Amino acid sequence: MITRPSRVEGTDLSKPVVTIGLCVKNCEKTIKDTIRSIIAQDYPHELIEIIVVDGCSRDRTVRIIKKMLRTSDINTRIFFEDKGLGLARQIVVNNSKGEFIIWVDGDMILTKDFVKKQVEYMEQNPHVGIAKGRYGFTKESSLVAFLENLDFLTAFDEVKDFLLASLGASGSIYRVNTIKQIGGFDENITGAGEDTDVEYRIRAAGWKLCIGPAIFYERRRKTWKALWEEYFWHGKGGFQLYKKNANIIVTWKIFPLTLLFKKFIQVKRAYKMTHYKGVFMLPVHYIFKRIAWFFGFLTEYVKWYLNKITKSKPLP
């Protein structure tokens, strides 16, 4: 545990305490920039705590985090888990001393005023349970990373209230009492989807999910293979959610034509933003991700079905 003084003379202590929930695994290549951006926040540091939950990294991720935060004035605690994101996020909730939790991934970079703007937005909008930050755009040498960045940027750019789609935990601020009200994260969700599950239950409890004004940046997969693996993993998580509650993942919406149509509209907006002809690959990029997601979903379904048949067979 790394602890630091909790009070600095002259600081506005009327502001709420904020927990940075940093759930990481094998991200030694990007974690330095993430930690730098947290340390650089202009929100009072004595009102920030960092709770790191490492998913048994096999690289230098934890070592880098400890070294960088050793001289920081932000209180930090480090935990470990080996069961997945549902448990990792709940560890943060269980140990949080903050009124709010801001979820940060190991491949994110926060703007200097990110925490301040997110907190101000939540205080001004008491009906909001979750507020997602806005994606910033970074130049990428890889076409795949460029398209992924542009996809998220244009999808979230003009949205304020999210009524149906999933926000995702990364870059989002949660009210701690809201998470506790709905029973916290499902620790049985080992892969992707723990945030979608929580969002569904928070909506059902009457809270709004919105997009705030704060901006963050996220590093993206640079190859089609890596992108496939990411969305295949999301698809596997999607089946776990479907098993839990079919209303969360509606199978006929896996390849919605309306969303594909919106991608063609996105192309026009994206080209105005970048004047780069590569944006015309956005619909292909979208279809590629949906196919990867579908195969991940199907893989988990087949495993579940075969296991079900095996268990139902009478013993000889």
Query: Helix or strand or coil: residue 85?
Result: helix
What mean pLDDT do residues 213-218 have? 92
180 with 122, same domain: the answer is yes
User: Residue 241 is encoded by which pair of tokens?
Assistant: 């959610």
Residue 129 confidence (pLDDT) above 90: yes
Q: State whether 267 and 203 are in the same domain.
A: no
Of the candidates 294, 27, 23, 65, the residue with the CA atom closest to the CA atom of residue 185: 23
Strand, helix or coil for residue 172: strand
In a domain, 314, yes or no: no
Same domain, 128 and 197: yes
String of b and e for 150-160 (b: at least 16 CB within 10 Å)?
bbbbbebeeee
pLDDT at 229: 94
Identify the CA nearest to 101 among candidates 61, 136, 55, 51.
Answer: 51
Backbone angles phi, psi at 270, to 5 degrees: -65, -40
Does residue 59 share a domain with residue 43? yes
Assigned domain for 182 exists: yes
Asked whether the predicted pLDDT for residue 264 surpasses 80, the reply is: no
Contact 43, 15 (CB under 8 A): yes
* pLDDT exceeds 50 at position 90: yes
pLDDT at 242: 87
- Tens of pLDDT, residues 146-159: 888 888 877 776 55
Is the CB of residue 255 less than 8 Å from the CB of residue 294? yes
Whole-number pLDDT of residue 257: 59
The total domain count for the chain is 2
Name the residue range of residue 242's domain: 223-308
Place of tokens 């209180």: 75
- Each residue's pLDDT tens digit, 227-243: 999 999 999 998 988 88
Query: Pick from 104, 195, 199, 215: which is nearest to 153 by CA?
Result: 215
Query: Does 291 lie in the same domain as 240?
Result: yes
- At 160, the pLDDT band (50, 70, 90 cuts) reads low
How many secondary structure helices (H) and strands (E) does the chain include?
Answer: 10, 8
Q: Is residue 91 part of a domain?
A: yes
What per-residue confidence (pLDDT) applies to 12?
A: 57
Burial of 219 (0-12, 13-18, 19+ CB in 10 A): buried
Residues 27 and 162 both lie in one domain: yes
DSSP 54-84: E---SSSHHHHHHHHHTT-SSEEEEEE-SS-
Q: How confident is the model at residue 255 (pLDDT cuts 50, 70, 90)?
A: low
Which of 14-23, 161-170, 180-189, 255-264 shows the lowest mean pLDDT across its residues?
255-264
**Is 92 within 8 Å of 98 (Cβ atoms)?**
no
Share of the chain above pLDDT 70, in %: 87
289-308: average pLDDT: 90
